[in-house]
Structure 1
Amino acid sequence: MADERTSKAKRYARGQRRLALAGIALFTAYAAAWIATGLSRRVGDALAARLPFPLDAVAMAVLFGGGWILLDLPLALYGGFVLPQRFGLSTQTVKGWALDQAKGWGIGAGMGLPLLAGLYVAFRRWPETWWLPVGAFWILFTVLLAQWTPVLLAPLFYRFRPLEDPDLVARLEGMARRAGVGIRGVFVIDMSRRTRAANAGLMGIGPTRRIVLGDTLLQGYTPEEIEAILAHELAHHRHRDLPLGLALGSAVNLLGFLLGARWLPPLVRALGFPRLDHPGTLPALALAAMAFGLATGIPLRAWSRWREWEADRAAIRWCSNPGALASALRKLGEQNLAEPDLEAWVEVLFHTHPALGKRIRAAEARAAAMAALAENGSPSAPPSDLCRSIRSE
């Protein structure tokens, strides 16, 4: 049975990776076709002649983005609905999946089109130094988005309700309090309406931060396993991984804007555009942004994997229960069809977390070492107050 589950997880992961690579290749071909055929220049000229600035750029985004949505729809349907259904993960209907897609497109347009208009305004107003105001605004936007996602965006997709298990609520709120992480309560979201996968974590930052458990996690996990999962998540917040990640991502984006200010003007002129704020430059900007994201994603994912290892170590140190962490990770892997062991290149290119099998084996090795110490009569390191006081309450 274990071999069968592993084979199934590998096939599912392989299918998702192929779809991701196909999406990159298809978008590259799509954007390149707009540029190579002269379509982006002709459409941009027509829009600039008929619409005031920057509405011409917004209209270009609607046309270019709308075409991409239609072209990508078969891949999105297969990866988001057909493949999870085939492997027994999805509980959605086609109608439910389509509604989620429509919500995502609406949110993307509602936020993305004003941001794009602002970008083109910055191109025109500060042709040499646009990267500074754009970078500053982008940092502010990402911080606000992280803070208000639990309040404004997540409820569009999931129903939140307070956890009704008072003992588990007390355990989890006590953990957060002793970890020095302020929260606004413990909530359950209805993941089961979409998937059989399970998840848990902390959502939001500052005054909107809350503990969130998928309803699929409450079925089949012991309180100790949920405690171990939350200890891992609390470690991220106690280590300030979220603000550090935002700071690192902001620095990378600022570098991208700086490089764009230097290299994009000669690039678009070489492609036949008179200036950077011409609406027809959008496909070229999209290609440049994708290339930069692919290149910088590798070191950013490496940083993320390091922080995940540190969170695992902290969860074990705080609770002195590596067996619970190992069993929770194993259950999550089986339930979510996570590939347990990865080839090195797959982990480097695609994953923000270390391979699940490595994390499980590390926790099991620590559990075995603690058991050996106990058999020999040697005291092992006691749990920190974070979990010890929970068990004594």
Structure 2
Amino acid sequence: MSDSVKWWAPRVVAAVLAVEVVAMIVISLPWHLPGSSGSDTALDFTAAEIARQNAFRHALLPWSTTSWLLSVAVPLVIGFSPLGRRLYDALHLKRLWYVSVPLLVFGLGLLTSLITVPTDVMAERVTRRYGLSVQDWSLWTRDRIVNWALMSLALAVIALVLIAFARKWKQSWWLPAASAAAVLVLGVSFAYPVLVEPRFNQFSSMPAGALRDDFMKLAADDGVPVKDVLVADASKRTTALNAYVSGFGSTRRLVVYDTLLKDTPPAQVRLVVAHELGHASEDDVLHGTLIGVLGAALGVVLLQLLLGTRMADPRRTAMLLALIVAATTVSAPVQNFVSRRIESRADFHSLQLTKDPRNFVAMQHDLAVTNISGLDPSWWRVWLFATHPTPPERIAMGRAWASEHGLTVPPQR
């Protein structure tokens, strides 16, 4: 590969991948949905419900925000300073770089996790005080350990593969590395439902009965093949209500929290399931995976532009982790925007499938109250953290859909 080709090839590939990512997002997202402007919170929630939500978030957000800031700042400070290389050298395993790299990754992950323990403990205490969390401290600690182990393992594999390719292929390492990153994302998407999710919850097939039959019929009417309906034992951790579709193809299954099945009216549960079927109907998991595949390949090519042959130096492992954290943080607003539009489309799908705007509005209200969802978050929190529309926006969609289809518009509180 000539020097001129070495210079322009990754730039051209990066540009092509960036265009493909943008195109995938534009093509796969809905751009015209009713009722997205939201409604007056005071007209749909009682003063007591609004006060409880405000008090909860006033108590929680200082701790959760500080924890997030620390989780970002620690790897950035270490990775973008000489400290990262010094920590690598302190391992005294210069020739065994394939041992030093994972040790450093796991060590930095552990350090970050330990630094955020005080703020995370305070956040957990708030969620317990408001009845949202019911897990004991042993389960809370176990979840943190499992999360640290899984995240560190994933990052260690990424670092080892990138460094190994850079050491073997020198200038052209980014070509096989980008392909490997894309394959890794695809593989994780298939494996996640059967390898990762069981590490946090136990799943059991929903017993035969009228409710399960209704869910399967709803899926059949929607033309969505669902392998099974599973119940997750979420009640050992939380009182929050939720459901989701996991996997695609042979691993696709509908998962509902046991908390959702406990006291929620059947008509509202049906709407939650219809929402999740909307994700399956639109192949949201598949589209998200394809965007992730392209994004992973783009990320590797950008690493080539930033580090070049320096990627082969294992002493830059901490810098690699810092770059991954920086990229994740910078891309979060885009990812969240995509997620909010997809969730809005699934809401719309549930209305189309059930034609039940009255229970849809009631469901969105009850979910918001039970989950103590933010009713009017600041714009920067929406961009940085919000993966779903606000409850007032979702309620407004239900009313707009009813109006457009000539049905009785659900009344305000």
Q: Please, what TM-score do these two structures have when normalized by structure 2?
A: 0.80
After TM superposition, the structure 1 stretch with the greater mean CA deviation from structure 2, 231-240 or 157-166, is 157-166
Q: State the Cα distance separating 1:239 from its structure 2 match.
A: 1.1
Q: State the Cα distance separating 1:93 from its structure 2 match.
A: 0.8
Match of residue 96, structure 2, among 52, 63, 72: 52
Report how many residues are paired.
365
Report whether the alignment pairs 1:256 with 2:299: yes
How far apart in 1 are the matches of 2:293 and 2:81? Answer: 35
Q: Is the 8 A contact 2:79 2:320 kept in 1?
A: no
**Matched residue, 1:277:** 312
After TM superposition, the structure 1 stretch with the greater mean CA deviation from structure 2, 319-328 or 245-254, is 245-254
Q: State the Cα distance separating 1:352 from its structure 2 match.
A: 1.5
Q: State the Cα distance separating 1:359 from its structure 2 match.
A: 0.5
Identity score, percent: 25
Kindly indicate whether structure 1 or structure 2 has the higher relative contact order, using CA contacts under 8 Å at least 6 residues apart.
Answer: 2
Q: State the Cα distance separating 1:236 from its structure 2 match.
A: 1.3
Task: Write the deviation string for residues 254-302 of structure 1: whole angstroms up to 9, x where unpaired.
Answer: 2222111101349xxxxxxxx3333331222222222222222212221
**1:76-115 alignment runs, 5 A limit:** 76-79=120-123, 81-115=124-158
Report whether the alignment pairs 1:307 with 2:342: yes
How far apart in 2 are the matches of 1:109 and 1:35? Answer: 15
Q: State the Cα distance separating 1:156 from its structure 2 match.
A: 2.2
Q: State the Cα distance separating 1:365 from its structure 2 match.
A: 3.8
Q: Is the 8 A contact 1:150 1:203 kept in 2?
A: yes
Amino acid at match of 2:378: E
Amino acid at match of 2:53: A
Report whether the alignment pairs 1:348 with 2:383: yes
Match of residue 231, structure 1, among 274, 281, 289: 274
Amino acid at match of 1:164: P
Gaps of 5+ in 1: 267-274, 375-393
**Matched residue, 1:246:** 289
How far apart in 2 are the matches of 1:209 and 1:127? Answer: 40
Gaps of 5+ in 2: 1-44
- Aligned CA distance change for structure 1 residues 212 and 36 (closer, same or farther; 3 Å): closer
Q: State the Cα distance separating 1:169 from its structure 2 match.
A: 0.8
Q: Is the 8 A contact 1:147 1:209 kept in 2?
A: no
Amino acid at match of 1:308: E
**Matched residue, 2:33:** none
Q: State the Cα distance separating 1:51 from its structure 2 match.
A: 4.3
- Aligned CA distance change for structure 1 residues 367 and 127 (closer, same or farther; 3 Å): same
How far apart in 2 are the matches of 1:180 and 1:48? Answer: 59
Q: Cα RMSD between the aligned structures? A: 2.6
Q: Is the 8 A contact 1:187 1:211 kept in 2?
A: yes
How far apart in 1 are the matches of 2:362 and 2:131? Answer: 22
How far apart in 2 are the matches of 1:122 and 1:73? Answer: 36
Amino acid at match of 2:276: E
Q: Please, what TM-score do these two structures have when normalized by structure 1?
A: 0.84
Q: Secondary structure, in 3 states, of the residue corresponding to 1:202?
A: strand
After TM superposition, the structure 1 stretch with the greater mean CA deviation from structure 2, 337-346 or 211-220, is 337-346
